[in-house]
Structure 1
């Protein structure tokens, strides 16, 4: 009789532990971090199609986005996109001769150096913010995003500015495939 009560107690304790573990996992995934799979080649060579990453969902609730952050956001097509922030509120963005200009100053994009080596012509076509969104600066509450694979990326040049409240979070850690695991910039 005593062993039967002991078994029921042990079963109850294991059930509670599993329930707590699943509850904590759900809370962490819903509020703090979530996995995402890179779909497509718009962020190559930084990210490859099929890379699995962790999205930090709390970073922008306590801080502001920075230029060059890689973010995941809800796109107009009812799909989540992953792109790099190029322009912040108040910025004027332009490209000329494959060079990024923010507020009239040339800005380096070292994450594109590897990609520029093997191409002929320019990676990014010339444009100004006015040509893309009919505004001279990015308004408060919005960012301008671009994929690293500029020739094949559907980004702010096509879909317009991204509202900050549509950003799910930032990501810079690949966890799969294991051989590619690590922090990306």
Structure 2
């Protein structure tokens, strides 16, 4: 009987710890591993970082230049169920490797007009100073992008090898999963 009580105590402690770990990973902080070279030279393939989930939890608008994790599936609505199933603990259990999450830099916020000319990004008519870029951007377009309310425009630092808002479109604020903290 004493062994059964001890076993129950350990099980209860384990379950409480599991619930706390899930809550922290869903709402506060989460580890993330960079997959690919779209953020070179700022972040490298397989580099590990920690992401604050507070902007996602409280729907904060990220600042210009913030490095964020986005859900690139902009054609679908995100739910709380997504946040739970994308938690690293569940990912270990189900052993999935979903490539829908990208690491990008916030370039435009609601109301901004973005243009790509002279191998530079222009926000509201001003060329951006981007010291984090390793090479000149080879992309130019006559299109003007106006970021709609509740969305951001993101790009990778390796502009010539990045799938970003130029391809997938504006990112809804609820698809910004978190902000890099270290």
TM range (shorter): 0.7 to 0.9
The aligned counterpart of 1:157 is: 166
**How far, CA to CA, are the matches of 2:120 and 2:44 in structure 1?**
24
- In the alignment, structure 1 residue 29 sits paired with structure 2 residue 25: yes
Whichever of the two has the greater Rg, that structure is 1
Q: Cα distance, 1:124 vs. partner? A: 4.0
> Is the Cα–Cα contact under 8 Å of residues 43 and 147 in structure 1 kept in the other structure?
yes
Q: How far 1:151 moved relative to its partner? A: 0.6
Shift of 1:143: 1.1
Change (3 A) 1:124 1:143: farther
Deviation of residue 86 (structure 1)?
0.5
- Which of 34, 40, 43 pairs up with 1:44? 40
**What does residue range 36-75 of structure 1 map to in structure 2 within 5 Å?**
36-60=32-56, 61=58, 63-75=60-72
Kept in 2, the 8 Å contact 1:93–1:128? The answer is no
The DSSP-based 3-state class of the residue aligned with 1:157 is helix
Specify every segment of 5 or more residues in structure 1 that has no aligned partner in the other structure, as ranges: 117-121, 174-185
**Partner of 1:110: helix, strand, or coil?**
coil
- The answer to whether the 8 A contact 2:120-2:137 is kept is no
Aligned equivalents of 1:123 and 1:105: distance in 2? 16
Give 3-state SS (helix, strand or coil) of 2:132's partner: helix
The TM-score with structure 2 as length reference comes to: 0.75
Q: What is the CA–CA distance in structure 1 between the aligned matches of 2:142 and 2:129, rounded to whole Å?
A: 17
User: SS where residue 66 of structure 1 aligns?
Assistant: coil
Aligned to 2:86: none
Structure 2: runs of 5 or more not aligned: 75-98
**CA shift at 1:81, angstroms?**
1.4
CA-to-aligned-CA distance 1:11-57 (integer Å, 9 cap, x gap): 54444333322221111112222222211111111111111222211
Equivalent-residue separation in structure 2 for 1:128 and 1:32 (angstroms): 41
Shift of 1:9: 5.4
Give 1:127's aligned residue.
Answer: 141
